[in-house]
Amino acid sequence: MSRTRLLFAPGDLRGADSVDDAALVGAIGEVESAWVTAQASAGLVSADTRTAATGAVDAVTWELQADAEALAGLAADAESGGNPVIPFLTRVRARLTPEAGRALHRGLTSQDVMDSALGLLVTRTIAETRARLDVITEALRSLSEAHADTLCLARTLTQPALPTTFGLRVATWAAEVAEVAALTPRSDAVQVGGAAGTRAAIREFAGDRTEALLREFEVQLRGPDAALSPTPVPWHTDRVRVLTWATHFTQCVGVGSSIARNVLIGTRPEVGELALAATGGSSAMPQKTNPTVAVLLHRNGMRAPGLLATVATTGAEAVEERSDGAWHAEWPALSALMVLALSSLALLEEMVAGLSARPKAMRRNLDAAGPGIYGEKLTIVFGDRLSKDAITEILSGSGDPAELLGAALAATPGPVPDPAELEGYFAPSSYLGEAEGIRETIIRTTDPTTP
């Protein structure tokens, strides 16, 4: 029987297929086949041996991926050795002659295979996160352009602050997403260190063909371009790259959660500034249309930090030439972050596509914030003529603020602006500063076509 935990986390299904047990088995099979193929290319095994070994690997991989009970059996057998590579090899060798069995996994250690398999999964996951980040950035750029002039209330520490534009707010979301994309790490990691990171066994059987073997293995897993770069050194207990990957996945989750929090606030009926095209219902209250996609994004944001902390801890706990548990603790945390990143970006793309602004509600809330949001402006413009108490009185709501400002200025030396100019001091569009310039800068710098 297949055992999953997807019902505990709705939305995870969007990323699970890329990082589930079947995907890991497939990656392990790719690594083992690549190693045998590399030996054949380096003249270390015959073509017949390569065909037999890779054929057995493919057969076992297919059987495990197609049969949930067989996959569960592999998981049970993995306990004794602490990783799934060992029982996987047992199943493959059962199909091979002794000669072909010797070529399989020769000179490698389980960590080489697990790390290289995870490297494959990470590479594919990061390719998908980068593609989604670019799509989301473009969607946010378009939304920002559409609302460049839409006035709304800026809030700081949850309270009314100053006038701003919804276009600028969305542009800052685009900047966040674009920055995550720009920080996307390299992920084409392949591990070959042997039992203790010295490649002793590999050098022993490959001799002067060791470099050709290692190069071909890299090419098999990374593609032809790998032939142009130096062969990487082993990284059995150098886990900085793993923490870098985990950080990227956490950033993907975090940026989705941050934007979702803004949407959750804006779609509250009492705020009413935003609407989502796709929402969920309630099992008890038929009148409700819950912003479910944003809720799931927010939930993911609360799950990711603990997983990142685990990966950071495993890296700090890495010792000697192979860690006693830290390496093993890395896999579930990193794979969960990969699922969350894929899930979050899929949800975020959907949320942004279905997001619409309600300019009338934005203006209503802006006006309802009262004249207090112009306190900074009056202090800057008239601070040399009006006391703090006088400005507080003008903004108190006890009367028309323009008339109160005129009266206060008339009681001090200096000119008094005409009524129209006084009214203008309390117009939102008169105190936007460089909002549009900042927005345009963000749009320009997040445009991949900008030179």
Q: Where are the domains of the chain?
A: 12-108+198-233, 109-185+236-369, 370-446
CA 280 to CA 139: how far, in whole Å? 23
Mean pLDDT of 232-257: 97
CB atoms within 10 A of CB 324: 11
State what percent of residues in the chain have pLDDT above 90: 89
One-letter amino acid at 56 equals A
Phi, psi angles (nearest 5°) of residue 163: -70, 150
Q: Report pLDDT digits (tens) over 283-296.
A: 444 455 789 999 99
pLDDT of residue 131: 97
410: which residues sit within 8 A by CB, 6+ positions away?
416
State what percent of residues in the chain have pLDDT above 70: 97
Place of tokens 């038929």: 286
What is the fold of 12-108+198-233?
A: Fumarase C; Chain B, domain 1 (1.10.275)
CA 153 to CA 174: how far, in whole Å? 19
Place of tokens 């009367």: 399
Does position 282 have pLDDT exceeding 70, yes or no?
no
423: which residues sit within 8 A by CB, 6+ positions away?
402
One-letter amino acid at 297 equals L
Task: List own/partner pairs for 183-186 with CB under 8 A and 24 or more apart.
Answer: 183/248, 183/251, 184/126, 184/129, 184/130, 184/133, 184/248, 185/126, 185/241, 185/244, 185/245, 185/247, 185/248
Does position 2 have pLDDT exceeding 50, yes or no?
no
Architecture label for domain 109-185+236-369: Up-down Bundle (1.20)
Domains 12-108+198-233 and 109-185+236-369 share a fold: no
**CA nearest neighbour of 242 among 333, 362, 171, 363:** 333
> Taking the model in full, what pTM does it have?
0.94
Question: Strand 159-165 vs strand 274-276: parallel, antiparallel, or unpaired?
Answer: unpaired
CA 174 to CA 139: how far, in whole Å? 8
**Lowest-pLDDT choice from 17-26, 108-117, 246-255:** 17-26
145: which residues sit within 8 A by CB, 6+ positions away?
167, 443
Mean pLDDT of 17-23: 92
Mean pLDDT of the chain: 94
